[in-house]
Chains A and B, each alone.
Chain A
Amino acid sequence: MITTIGFGLLAALLVGSALYVVRATNLVHSVLGLGVTLSITALLYALLEANFVAGVQVLLYVGGVVTLMIFGVMVTRRHDGIVVRSDSANEVRGLLGGGGIFVLLALSILESDLPSSPVGPAPSTASLASELLGPHVVAFEALSMLLLAAIVGAIVIARRRDFGEPRQDLVTRARAAREALRVEALRAEAEAPSPEPAASDAAEPPRADEALPSTDGSVPAQEASS
C-alpha cells in the first residue's frame, strides 16, 4: 500500500519535473530541473530495491552530469542563459513525435503479458558485484578505457584551434578597425595644412563604424524576443 502511494507520488513528480525541464525558458532552470528529475529517479531506484544503482545515480548523474551541464551553459551563454523558444511548427512536430511514441509504447506495453509482482527476492548488491566482476569483467575494464578515450577526445575537440577564425572576433576586429581609423584621422589632421576638412573626415568614419557593434549586440536581443 505504502509502496503504491510512494510510486504514484514519485511518478507524478517525475513526469512533472521532466515537463518542466523541456518547457523552461531559462536554460539554467532547465538543467537544474534535470537534476531534480534524476534525483527523483534515484528515489525510484531505491523503491525498486536497487540501492547501489540509486547511489551511483546520485553520485554520477546529479553530482557529475548536472555540474558538467551547468558549466556548459555558463561557458556557452551570451545573455543570462535565455533559451530561444521554438516556433509553432516545431511545437506541433514535438507533440506529434512525443505523443505518437508514447501511444505506440503504451499500446505495446498493455498488450504484452508482464509479471505484476517480483518472481523472487530482489538481487543484492553482493550478487551485483559478483556479476560485474565475474562474467562481465572484460566489459567493465573496457568501460574504463572508453571513459578515458571520451574524456581525452572531449579535450581534443574543445581545445582545437584550427577551425578558421571564430566569428565572435568580429567585435574585436571592428574595434581594432575603428582604432586604426582614428589613428589615421589624427595623422591626417596633423599633416593637413587646414584643419577643417581633416576634422570632418575624422568625424565621419568612426560614427559609421560605431553602428557595427550595436547591430551585433541587437542580434541576441532579437533572438531572445522571438
Chain B
Amino acid sequence: MTLTTCLLLASALFSVGVYGLLTRQQLVAVLVSVELMANAANIVLVAFSHFTASPLGQVFTLFALAITVAEVAVGLALALLLYRTHASSRLDAAKEMNG
C-alpha cells in the first residue's frame, strides 16, 4: 500500500462515478454517482493525510463529508420537486429548460 496505489484506487472510483453520471437517467441515480465521486475525493484526502503525517487532510475530509450531506439533502428535495411537477424522476422529463 503506497500513496500511488491509493491514488490509483481513488481515480478508479472517480471514473466509475463519471461513468454512472453520464449513463444514468434518473435523478436519484445521478446523485448516487456524484456520491461515488465525492467519496473518491475523500479517499485522496485521507491518503495524503496518512502519508504526509498531517491531520489537515482529515480536517478537510470532515468538512467535505458535511457539505456532501447538505448537497444530498438539497438534491433529494429537487428530485421530489421534479417528481411532483413532471410525474417522473427521469432527468429528460425536464426538457423545457433546453435552449
Q: Does B87 contact A (CB under 8 A)?
A: yes
Instruction: Point out the residues of chain A lying under 8 angstroms from B88, CB to CB.
Output: 78
Which A residues touch B98, using CB under 8 A? none
Closest 10 A-B residue pairs measured CB to CB? Answer: A120-B53, A22-B20, A98-B19, A150-B70, A105-B11, A102-B15, A123-B55, A168-B87, A94-B23, A154-B77
Which residues on the A side are within 8 Å of B11 (C-beta)? 101-102, 105-106, 109
Which residues in B have their C-beta under 8 angstroms from that of A3? 1
The tally of residues in B whose CB lies under 8 Å from a CB in A reads: 76
Q: Mark A66-97, 1 if CB is under 8 A from B, else 0.
A: 00110111011110000110100011011101
- Which one of B29, B52, B69, B84 contacts A119 once the chains associate, using CB atoms below 8 Å? B52
Task: Assess whether A27 is in contact with B20, with CB atoms less than 8 Å apart.
Answer: no
* B72 contacts A65, C-beta separation under 8 Å: yes
Q: What is the 8 Å Cβ interface bit string for chain B, positions 59-99, against chain A (1 contact, 0 not)?
A: 10111011111111110111111111111111000000000
Residues of B within 8 A of A50 (CB): 46, 49-50, 58, 61
Residues of B with C-beta under 8 A to A61: 39, 65, 68
User: CB of A176 within 8 A of chain B?
Assistant: no
Complex CA distance for A50 and B85, rounded to whole angstroms: 44
Residue A15, interface by CB 8 Å:
yes
Q: Which of B29, B78, B80 contacts A30 (CB 8 A)?
A: B29
Option from A11, A98, A146, A154 in Cβ contact (under 8 Å) with B16: A98
Q: A15-B16, A102-B12 are in contact. Are A131 and B56 (CB under 8 A)?
A: yes
Contact A21 B32 (CB under 8 A): yes
Give A168 to B81 CA distance when docked, in angstroms: 12
Contact status of A76 and B89, CB under 8 A, knowing A18-B16, A65-B69, A146-B67: yes
Question: Could you name 5 residue pairs across A and B whose Cβ atoms are closer than 8 Å?
Answer: A31-B32, A60-B69, A75-B80, A84-B25, A98-B18
Q: Is the CB of B1 within 8 A of A95?
A: no
Interface of A: prevailing SS: helix
Place the interface of chain A in its size category: 35 or more
Report which of B15, B36, B81 forms a contact with A101, defined as CB distance below 8 A.
B15
Q: Per DSSP, are chain B's interface residues mostly helix, strand or loop, or mixed?
A: helix
Do B52 and A158 have beta carbons less than 8 Å apart?
Answer: no
Are B25 and A72 neighbours in the complex by a CB distance under 8 Å? no
Q: Which A residues contact B (CB, under 8 angstroms)? A: 3-4, 7, 11, 14-15, 18-19, 21-22, 27, 30-31, 34, 37-38, 41, 44-45, 47-50, 52-53, 56-57, 60-61, 64-65, 68-69, 71-73, 75-78, 83-84, 86, 90-91, 93-95, 97-99, 101-102, 105-106, 109-110, 114-124, 127-128, 131-132, 136, 139, 143, 146-147, 150-151, 153-155, 157-158, 160, 163-164, 166-168, 170, 223
**Chain A: minimal CB distance from B60 (Å):** 9
CB contact between A86 and one of B25, B66, B78 (< 8 Å): that residue:
B25
Interface contacts beyond A15-B9, A97-B19, A119-B53: sample of 14 additional A-B pairs, CB < 8 Å, sorted by A: A3-B1, A21-B36, A22-B20, A31-B32, A56-B65, A64-B69, A68-B73, A72-B80, A84-B25, A106-B8, A154-B73, A155-B77, A157-B77, A167-B85
